[in-house]
């Protein structure tokens, strides 16, 4: 096996198990160097749990890798997440500060897929109140320090391809064999004393019909008698009562 000329041991494992006969196997090692891990020694010589410190990585990104498999290739190593001030020096002059910074460029194979962050939660025990695969909360105290808007989560898709894929800022997948009494794609809850009185807000950045009916915009007004045509309805539940958004398949004109 070829040996890298850019990666070196900082702590090299002993030839035998550290701890004598009671140790289960050879101890993990610590490696430092330049570039990302690859299918080359010393990366292939160390056990799972070994650490690699990359000294020439991109500024403000993680420079630490851990070996998570022993397949003899670069995929054995995963870049570790960092949090807080370890990833971005916060200052009053910064336009955007990040608590956790994660940059990832996946290489797709034919028929494959890619996920930036994968969270898998399996519940256990009994009599729990609720469970969620992901939870996010933003709190603004008595001092107003955000002049724009606050949201619990924001999702953005950037697609500049001239032959674009179908794209959606949000995809909801339902995968269940049974439904509860309130099972829906989206649940709305209000825990504060200021009750929200709108289901959604269409912002000024969206395409809105300002001059007349237009089937290419997001919001349009039916006219010429078409406003009375309704041949579709979308069901939702409000306080236990089934209701319907009335819709038409007739394009505005």
The structure tokens listed for 107 are 């290489």
Q: What is the pLDDT of residue 32?
A: 93
Q: Are 38 and 4 in contact (CB under 8 A)?
A: yes
Tokens of 129: 């109140």
The answer to whether 253 and 226 are in contact (CB under 8 A) is: yes
**Positions in the chain whose pLDDT score sits under 70:** 1-3, 14-22, 82-95, 100-101, 204-217, 253
pLDDT at 91: 40
E-assigned strand segments in 74-208: 77-79
> What is the distance between the alpha carbons of residues 131 and 122, in angstroms, rounded to a whole number?
9
Q: What is the number of other CB atoms lying within 10 angstroms of the CB of residue 52?
A: 25
Q: Distance between CA atoms of 43 and 70, rounded to whole angstroms?
A: 10
Tell me the domain boundaries of the chain: 1-106
CA distance 219 to 202: 9
pLDDT at 205: 60
**Angle CA 185–158–206, to nearest 5:** 65
Q: What's the rounded Cα separation, in Å, for the pair 252 and 96? A: 41
pLDDT of residue 84: 44
Task: State the pLDDT at residue 116.
Answer: 86
Per-residue buried b or exposed e for 36-49, using 16+ beta carbons within 10 Å of the residue's own CB: ebbebebbbbbeee
- Interatomic CA distance for residues 174 and 152, integer angstroms: 22
pLDDT digits (tens, 9 = 90+) for 178-236: 999 889 999 988 888 988 888 888 776 666 665 555 556 677 777 777 777 788 888 88
């Amino acid at each position: 096996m070829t040996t890298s000329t850019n990666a070196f041991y900082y702590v090299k494992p002993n030839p035998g198990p550290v701890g004598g006969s009671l140790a289960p196997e050879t101890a993990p090692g610590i490696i430092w160097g330049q570039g990302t891990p690859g299918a080359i020694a010393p990366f292939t010589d160390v056990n799972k749990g070994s650490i690699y410190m990359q000294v020439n990585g991109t500024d403000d990104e993680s420079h630490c890798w851990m070996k998570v498999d022993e397949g003899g290739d670069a995929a054995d190593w995963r870049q570790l997440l960092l949090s807080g001030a370890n990833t971005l020096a916060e200052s009053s002059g910064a336009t955007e500060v990040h608590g956790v910074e994660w940059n990832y460029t996946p290489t797709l194979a034919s028929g494959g897929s890619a996920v930036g962050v994968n969270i898998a939660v399996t519940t256990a025990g009994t009599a729990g109140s609720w469970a969620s695969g992901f939870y996010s909360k933003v709190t603004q105290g008595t001092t107003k320090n955000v002049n724009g808007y606050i949201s619990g989560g924001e999702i953005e898709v950037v697609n500049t391809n001239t032959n674009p894929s179908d794209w959606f800022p949000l995809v909801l997948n339902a995968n269940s064999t049974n439904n509860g009494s309130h099972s829906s794609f989206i649940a709305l809850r209000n825990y504060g004393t200021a009750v929200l009185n709108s289901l959604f807000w269409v912002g000024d950045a969206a395409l809105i019909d300002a001059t007349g009916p237009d089937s290419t915009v997001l919001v349009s007004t039916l006219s010429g008698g078409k406003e009375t045509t309704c041949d579709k309805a979308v069901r939702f539940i409000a306080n236990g009562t089934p209701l319907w958004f009335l819709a038409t398949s007739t394009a505005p004109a």
